[in-house]
Each structure stands twice: as C-alpha cells, then as structure tokens.
Amino acid sequence: MNETKVKKMLFILSKGSIENAYAAFVMANGARMEGIEAEIFFTFFGLEAVQKKKLEHLKVATVGNPAMHIPTMLGGLPGMEALATNMMKKEMEKLDLPTVSEFLEILSDSGCKLWGCKLAVDMFHLKEEDLIDELDGILTIGDFYARANAEGTHLLFI
C-alpha cells in the first residue's frame, strides 16, 4: 500500500453552514479511517455545529452561493434555506451519511479530538452545558497550534 506522508490533520471550522460542517466531518473521519490523526477546532459560527440546541438545525447557505444556480435574490426569500437544506438532507440520507449529532459521536469514538475556541465561546456567551458532551475541551488558538506536534501535520481552515 502507498504510505501517505500526512500523519495528522488539524481542521478549523469557522462557518456554521451545513455544507461546511460536513466538509470538516467527512475529511476528519476520512483521515481517521486512513490511520491519520484528526482534530477539529470549532470557532466563530463553526461553534453552531457543537451546540446541543443548534447542531441539528444547520442550514445550507442559499445566498451568495453561485453553485445553488438560483438568483441571489430568490435565495433570500423566506423558506428557501429550509427548502434547500431539506433537499440536501434527503440526498445525504440516500448516501447513508450520518446526521450532525451522529457524525460527532462517530468522530469522537474514532479518536478525533473536538475542541471549542475560547474566544468564540466567550464572545457568544456560551457555557459548557450548551456544548456537546463529546467536546474534549476549550482551547485558545495557541493551544491548538501546540497540537501540531507531529511530523507531517497539516492545518486546514474551513
């Protein structure tokens, strides 16, 4: 088998749309499945993905997204986000993709570390009980850089 040079992947999830959350989750899970270490740092709107009350309500961004192939003005109409999100969730179900909460559980069980960003947690006035139980802790960005402690570590901003 070809040996990858990538040994550890550190992801920073900064956005709260469902497509960005899944991008981070699929890549982090994919890394673990290849025997690569993986960690995710949830910051700013990315923190929505680890808030108990919000994580199942992430939406597709329908405005400012040319790949939606609808005029931006239509994307802003009431209900458009929900419609696009439902359509995407149906397609995801067909592919047997886990839901957000199940994905987080899978990642945690797979040994992927999940971190909250201290600055963003303070800014949004979040308490520990607002965040999922699987969270491994709350870090500063400096702490997160310190996680890049292995040869072949890569850091990816989403």
Partner 1 sequence: MKKLVGQTEVNVNEEGYLTDFNEWNKNVAENLAEEHDIKLTERHWEVIAYLQGQHQKEEPLSIRGIKKSGVIDIKEFYALFPGGPLKMSTLIAGIPKPKSCI
Which residues sit at the interface with partner 1, rule CB under 8 A? 1-2, 26, 29-30, 32-35, 95-98, 102, 105-106, 109-111
Complex with partner 1: residue 104 or 117, whichever CB lies closer: 104
In the complex, least distance from residue 99 CB atom to partner 1, rounded to whole angstroms: 10
What is the closest distance, in whole angstroms, from the C-beta atom of residue 38 to partner 1 in the complex? 12
Long-range contacts of 154-157, Cβ-Cβ distance < 8 Å, separation of 24 or more: 154/6, 154/8, 154/9, 154/10, 155/10, 155/11, 155/12, 156/9, 156/10, 156/11, 156/12, 156/27, 157/12, 157/14
The least CB distance from residue 110 to partner 1, in Å, is: 6
Nearer to partner 1, 72 or 99 (CB): 99
Residue 34 or residue 122: which is nearer to partner 1 going by CB? 34
CB of 105 to partner 1, least distance (A): 8
Residue among 33 and 87 whose Cβ is closer to partner 1: 33
